[in-house]
Amino acid sequence: MTRGRNRGGNSRNSSKAPSQAILDLPVAKNEDVEVEIIGLTHEGEGVGRVEGYTLFIGGALPGERVRAKVLKVKKQYGYAKLIEVVVASPDRIAPPCEIYKQCGGCQLQHWSYEAQLDWKHQHVVDNLERIGKLKVGAAEGETSEGLNEEAGIVVHPTLGMNDPWRYRNKAQVPMGLAEEGGLIGGFYARNSHRIIDMDACLIQHDQNDDIVRRVKAIGRELGVTAYNEETGEGLLRHVVVRVGFRTGELMVVLVTNGAKLPLAEAWIEAIRAQVPGVESICQNINTKRTNVIFGDVTKTLWGRDVIYDYIGDVKFAISARSFYQVNPVQTEVLYGKTLEYAGLTGSETVIDAYCGIGTISLFLAQHAKRVYGVEIVPEAIEDARANAALNGISNAEFEVGAAEDVMPRWLEQGVSPDVVVVDPPRKGCDERLLETLLTMQPERIVYVSCNPATLARDLRLLEDGGYCVKEVQPVDMFPHTVHVESVALLVWDDTDR
């Protein structure tokens, strides 16, 4: 690695700020450096090293040599701005989105899709090995059948999309005011809450783009004011649009800073006239000084309270605030792998912890004797029960509460699961839930994860408690972003290991 000198031609050491000199760092703030990029962080930044000192450089890709300006230094690492790609990765491509460099919604559009999938696979492997201290030993694409434990965990190649664009079924667009005062809406600039106005997002369903454009235009015509985070004033906070991929049904949600929606009838008339196929127009009220999108109260202004869509053969009612996977194509892939790992024959009792609105529960109930779902959000359980009734599924029941509290009670009542499926939030499973799993000792655990780091941590605890992690399947639910979902299969091991 080579370092540039400052513009005045002074040596690197003489240009150091006092704090850098005291720490004796190999780089200084505002210094130009030339760096080989050796990896990528979980946030999509290139990782380079100067004499062992780590620099994070946004926009740089593994295998590249870049010139960068050091922006910030700490004792063990610093941040730099990409100035020039000296030697480009063969996988670097021109991002097709016009506002990609400004918007913070995607992080990997400048990398070929094949390279993204490879990195996501390696990202899962690295977390299992570094955080979980788990052995990953099988060749890519190899199954765990016939392998002994010493062979290690099979981590399959990432399952990607044939067409990794226009996959999102929900848009949540913050509203703001342009300098000249007109209503704008788009996405936040990278690392800020400054809104980049946009009319097209290449990972959104094209109908979402069209509807957001039309709703913004209606708002301008009606003279609607946008919410201002700094002052707490203004009316319209977000426009949320949902589209049913299979049904084509559409929902528009206006998130407002106040219970009253001025010109409500004009809003309804204009949206109905300009958005063919709309089945639901709602208002969500959020008066809190927060960056959380939804408030606690939702009113249906016109049409139904829900729209409908399908995952596989299961029909779901989706309300304004329902949690529903945003990539329906890959959701079928993810749930198909979950069903495969569950190994159901029709005679099993299954528990679905963190069941949400019952998406996985109802998917599994078609192949199990009985499914029990638990979720801490009461509204989600109401939706789960309604979705079970909607599909005529009678072998699934749902209960409100924390899984770590409800599952021991079920065990006392004689519910002994053959399979437990967990699909926790990014923070992973609650420690008490893991302890409950080790007490219940189901034959199989299927762990669906949106965070490789917490997945690795939890798998380590379950392995230490007597389970054997057989295989892990990464699934690309969010192409062109750094996020990766995984499904892991664990089998109870009653042998001495």
**pLDDT per residue rounded down to tens, the chain (497 residues):** 444 333 333 334 444 555 455 568 999 999 999 999 999 999 999 999 999 999 999 999 999 999 999 999 999 999 999 999 999 999 999 999 999 988 888 999 999 999 999 999 999 999 999 999 999 985 554 444 444 446 799 999 999 999 999 999 999 999 998 876 678 998 888 777 888 888 899 999 999 999 999 999 999 999 999 999 889 999 999 999 999 999 999 999 999 999 999 999 999 999 999 999 999 999 999 999 988 999 999 999 999 999 999 999 999 999 999 888 999 999 999 999 999 999 999 999 999 999 999 999 999 999 999 999 999 999 899 999 999 999 999 999 999 999 999 999 999 999 999 999 999 999 999 999 999 999 999 999 999 999 999 999 999 999 999 999 999 999 999 999 999 999 999 999 865 44
Q: What is the pLDDT of residue 22?
A: 52
170-318: CATH topology is OB fold (Dihydrolipoamide Acetyltransferase, E2P) (2.40.50)
What CATH architecture applies to the domain 2-87?
Answer: Beta Barrel (2.40)
Per-residue CA distances from 209 to 99, 168, 301, 406, 472 (Å): 15, 11, 22, 42, 35
Cite the active site residues.
Answer: 450
114-162+323-492: CATH topology is Rossmann fold (3.40.50)
Q: With contact defined as beta carbons under 8 Å apart, do 396 and 365 qualify?
A: yes
Q: Is there a shared CATH topology between the 2-87 domain and the 170-318 domain?
A: yes
Hey, where are the domains in the chain?
2-87, 114-162+323-492, 170-318
> What is the pTM assigned to this prediction?
0.89
